[in-house]
Structure 1
C-alpha cells in the first residue's frame, strides 16, 4: 500500500495546489465507488451506490468551480497583490472596507467630488484628521493600474511639499486612499477672481512662497528620488494647502516613474486641458520628459498671477482669450499688467518675476524650457537677473489627449 498523501500548506502560493489535492482525493473516491457499485447486486444497495457516485461527481464539479472562482479573483488584481508582496512592511497600511466606513463616520462629511472620486473627511484611531479619497468603481480602468500607480508613486516620496499617503483600501467593492488632511483645501479656490470674495485673496509674497514650495516639490520628484517621477497633472486643483498655506503636490494617478538613464514609451498620454505640454499631445514637438511638468508648472504660475484661466473663450476681446499671449504683449511693451491686488512696487516686482518665469516654462519646445532646479533658482533670485523669453507659440488644446500620440519619455 502506498503511503497516504498529505495536503500541501494552504498559504497563498499553495492555494491552487491544495485544491488540486482535494480534486485528486475526489477522483480516488469516485474510482472506489465504481468498484463498490460493480460488486453490488440489484436493489437498494445498487441504488445507494449510484446516488453515492453522483454525489462524488457533484462534489468534484463544485471543487472545480470554486477553484476557477478563486483563480479569477487572484488574477483580477495582480498589480495590487504584487505590490503588497514586493514592498511588504514598507507599503502604506492597508485598510478594510469597514475601516473606511468607520473613519469617515459612514461618509458623513464630503469635502469634494470629481468625475473619478469623492473625498471625505475622516479621523484615524490616533485622532489624526485625514482626507479619504474614494474612487468611483465604474471609472477604474483595467486591473487598477492608476490606483496602484498612485500608491507606488507617493510611497516612494518623502518631502514637505508632497502630500503624505497614510494608507489605502483595495477590496472588490471599495477602493480608497487615505491622505493627511489639508485644512485650506486646494490652491484653486484662492487664485480665481470668482472665488476671492469667499476665500480671500492671498498676498503676493504668499503667492511667491507657494510657487517656491511647489517648485521644490517638483524638483524633488525630478531629481531627489531614486527613480525620477513625472507627475503629468500639475494644476492648481492638485496643489493642497495646509494650515500654514504650505503647498503639497497631490494626485499621482497619472504619474510615471522614469529611470533617469532609460527611455520609456508612453502610450495613452493624458492630462488636463490647459496644462498639457505640446510634446505630450504630439511627439513632433519633442520628447516627453521632466520638462513636460515644467510646462504645466508655468501655466499654473501664470494662472496664479492672472487670477483667471489661461484659456477663456468667453473673453470680451480675442486678444484676451489666451492669457499668456496677452500678458506677454503687455510685459514687452511696458504697459500696466492689469493685475488685481498689486498695491506696492514690491508686489509689482513679484508679479512681473512670476510672469517672466511662467513664460520661460511654457516655451513650445522642451529644450528651451528651464529645469525645475533652474526655475527654483529664478524664483529665489531677483527680477533684475531675468530676461524676457521669446514669445511662445500659441498652443491651446481643447480637450485632454487620450490615445492621440505615442511619445518616448527620456
Structure 2
C-alpha cells in the first residue's frame, strides 16, 4: 500500500533511530551527508541523506516534489523510500546500493566486467533514463548522467541515481529554461553552454549518456591529461578515427576491437552529436543496444573529434553556476561512492 501512495514520511526522531544517531557515515556531498541505516521491521538497509543549506522551495513544495519522485518504480532507477521534512530538518531516504557506483569498476586497472556484462549494464542505464523521460507522469530530465551517478545493487543491476539536478517538465514542453541547466564538466551537452547548438531537452541527457558509454567502452575517462600524446588524450576522437579507418588501408586497432565494444562506441558517438536534433532518443538508443553491430553505421564526425574549432565558437567557458555545480560533484567523487545521492530540489 505504501508503494502505491508514495514515499513514507519520517519524523526526525525516526531518522535518528534508523541511523543509530548517524553512526555510519557513507559520504559527504555538496547537498549534505549520507548515512547508512536500517529500517525495521524487515531489516531493510537504506541510505539517508541529510540535506544542508536553504532549500529553494518551502516545505509544502518539497513534500510535493519528493512525493512525485517517490512514486517512481523502475528496476533501473534508485527508489526513494521516504523523506523527512520537519522545520529546517530535511532528509531523503533511499534504498541502499551495496556495490557502489559504476565509476569505481569501469575505471579500475583490472577489467572488472565482460563485454556482455558491460552491454547489459549499458542497456539497463538506458532503460532507466528512458523511463524518466517517457514512463513517468511528468518528464524527468536528469541533467547529470555520469558513471558516478549510476549505482549497482548486489547483482550489479544498474540504477540511475542522484536527482539533485533533475527537474520535472510536461512531456509536451519543448523548451527548458537555461536556469535549469546544470551538470558536470565532461558530460554537459553543448546546448547547455550555447543555444546555437539547440534547445535544452531530453537530448541533453542523451549526450551525457553517450559520454558515459564511451567511458564504459574505453575503460578510462574520455579526457586523459596524462596521455602520452594529444592524439590519445581525447578518447572519443581516437575511437572515431579508428572506426573510420576501416575503409582505408591503414593498420588499425579496429581488428582487435570486440563486437560489443564497437557497438558501445558507435552508439556513444551517435549520442554525442553536437546538434541535439542529430542525436537519437533514449528509446532509439535502446533499440541500437539491443540490435546487432552490423546494423549500425558510424555516425557523422562529432565536433569534439575535429581538429579545427567550430566556427564562431572560440571557447567553452562554463557559466559560473555550472562550474559551481561541477566543483560540488568533484567533492562527491572523492567519497566512498556507495550512495552519493543529491537532494531533489
- Taking structure 2 as the reference length, the TM-score comes to 0.81
Query: Does 2:238 correspond to 1:326?
Result: yes
Alpha-carbon contact 1:272-1:399 (below 8 Å) kept: no
SS at match of 1:275: coil
1:353 paired to 2:267: no
- The 3 A distance-change label for structure 1 pair 400 and 125 is farther
> How many Å separate the matches in 1 of 2:204 and 2:322?
17
Q: Distance between the aligned counterparts of 1:241 and 1:150, measured in 2? A: 25
Q: CA deviation at 1:174?
A: 2.8
1:131 aligns to 2:47 (yes or no): yes
Cα separation, 2, equivalents of 1:349 and 1:114 = 38
Decide whether the 8 Å contact of 1:273 with 1:400 is kept in 2: no
1:387 lines up with 2:303 in the alignment: no
Q: Matched residues in 2 for 1:279 and 1:124: separation?
A: 42
Q: How much has 1:141 moved relative to structure 2?
A: 4.5
DSSP 3-state at the match of 2:26: strand
Are positions 1:103 and 2:103 aligned together? no
Higher relative contact order at CA 8 Å, sep ≥6: structure 1 or structure 2? 2
Match of 1:229 in 2: 140
Once residues 329 and 382 of structure 1 are traced to their aligned partners in structure 2, the CA distance between those partners, rounded to angstroms, is 21
SS at match of 1:351: helix
CA distance in 2, matches of 1:375, 1:227: 21
Counterpart in the other structure of 1:28? none
From 156, 167, 179, give the equivalent of 1:245.
156
Q: 1:376 to 1:147 in 2, by over 3 A?
A: same
State the SS of the aligned residue for 2:206.
Answer: helix
Match of 1:366 among 276, 279, 284: 276
Once the two structures are superposed, the pairs formed by residues 25-44 of structure 1 within 5 Å of their partners are none
CA contact (8 A) 1:153 1:229 kept: no
Structure 1 counterpart of 2:172, from 261, 272, 276: 261
- In the alignment, the residues of structure 1 paired with residue 235 and residue 62 of structure 2 have an alpha-carbon distance, to the nearest angstrom, of 34
Report the number of matched residues.
Answer: 303
Q: Using the alignment, how far apart are the partners of 2:152 and 2:119 within structure 1?
A: 14
Gaps of 5+ in 1: 1-88, 339-344, 405-410
More helix by share: 1
Structure-2 separation of matches of 1:97 and 1:125: 16
Deviations 1:196-255 (A, max 9, x none): 4xxx61111111101001111111112222222111111111111111111111111111
Partner of 2:86: 171
Distance 1:201 1:399, change over 3 A: farther
Q: Which has the larger radius of gyration?
A: 1
Tell me the TM-score normalised to structure 1 length.
0.68
Do the aligned partners of 2:34 and 2:48 also contact (CA within 8 Å) in 1?
yes
In the alignment, is residue 272 of structure 1 matched against residue 187 of structure 2? no
Unpaired stretches in structure 2, ≥5 consecutive residues: 247-251, 306-314, 324-345
Deviation at 1:155, TM superposition (A): 2.2
The answer as to whether partners of 1:109 and 1:121 remain within 8 angstroms in 2 is yes
Give the 3-state SS of the residue equivalent to 1:402 in structure 2.
helix
SS in 2 for 1:168: strand
Deviation readout 1:167-216 (Å, 9 max, x if unpaired): 0112345321111111101111110035x4xxx61111111101001111
Aligned partner of 1:286 in structure 2 is 198
Matched position secondary structure for 1:357: helix
